[in-house]
Amino acid sequence: MKTVTGFALTTLLSATAGLSAMSVASAADLAAPEAMVIESAPSPIDVAFGVKFTTDYVFRGVTQSKGDPAVQGYAELQAFDWVYAGIWSSSVNGFATDPAAEVDIYGGLRHTWDAFTLDVGGLYYYYPGEDTPGPLKQLDYWEIYAKPSYAFGNFGSITGNVYWTSDFVNTGSDALYLSAIGKVNIPLDTIPDVGFYVSGEFGKQWIDRSRGFALAEDYLTWNLGVGATYKAATIEFRYSDSDLSRNECANNNGARWVCGDRYMVSLSFDTAFSKLK
């Protein structure tokens, strides 16, 4: 999602079986066969879901909520450790077309080989309830993506992102976004179920000027955050910025104030049916 960025859980595929321990018994008991207890195999299908409360919704260095708090949530179906499909939504504010929300519908293939994971798919940005009088157009558009990542054990990971569309914000303009995300985990063995992490992203957005964005500027964007996790809960503080000037921000987004440095605090809860007991 946009970041969606980033909340995905893999399906468990292993099955285990065990023999029950034999207790002290009489000669008559020993004549009977020992009972075997077999655990049922985990389901190859799972559903991950979560909710997030944030003080600002920022996407690629640009606020999508007018600097106001936003509520977000998602549900994702995962099957056979390969296929997934989901829906993610967030409250938004400050758009010229005044949509009721942003709804991202996405799906693709995702699989892990040892430490390497590859995720490829597509998503559709849908803005329900838009008001489009006069020259205003609806903002709905699509992107395809690839997200390779490599995990360094429990230490952390690095992830690449490639997003491309030929219809950026429904203007017919090509657009490409590339970024790299690094994450370092800081385990805290003295407190069970508690962990800390530091993560950051550096990326660039390219926008084709030949069609709907004649004055658009390519730009760099970055963010850095620290977070703490406890079981299904995560609390995070994150800083985001870009190299767009106020005038360039207006050319790209229709307003001067939606870019610039942003500071966000968020609280999220993520789990899956397989983790519920």
In angstroms, rounded to a whole number, what is the distance separating the alpha carbons of residues 152 and 17? 31
If one counts every other C-beta atom within 10 angstroms of the C-beta of residue 220, the result is: 14
In angstroms, rounded to a whole number, what is the distance separating the alpha carbons of residues 260 and 246? 8
pLDDT band with cut points at 50, 70 and 90 for residue 31: very low
**Per-residue pLDDT reduced to its tens digit, 254-273:** 899 999 999 999 999 999 99
Taking alpha carbons only, the member of 187, 177, 132, 178 closest to residue 156 is 187
**Per-residue pLDDT reduced to its tens digit, 139-152:** 999 999 999 999 99
In angstroms, rounded to a whole number, what is the distance separating the alpha carbons of residues 64 and 130? 15
**Per-residue pLDDT reduced to its tens digit, 102-111:** 999 999 999 9
pLDDT band with cut points at 50, 70 and 90 for residue 211: confident
Taking alpha carbons only, the member of 244, 266, 241 closest to residue 255 is 244
Tell me if the domain spanning 2-275 has CATH number 2.40.160.40. yes
In angstroms, rounded to a whole number, what is the distance separating the alpha carbons of residues 7 and 191? 23
**Per-residue pLDDT reduced to its tens digit, 158-198:** 999 999 999 999 988 999 999 999 999 997 878 888 999 99
Contact (CB, 8 A) for 136 and 127: no
Structure tokens at 195: 């962990």
What pLDDT, on a 0 to 100 scale, did the predictor assign at position 37? 53
DSSP 39: P
In angstroms, rounded to a whole number, what is the distance separating the alpha carbons of residues 21 and 252? 69
pLDDT, average across residues 120-128: 98
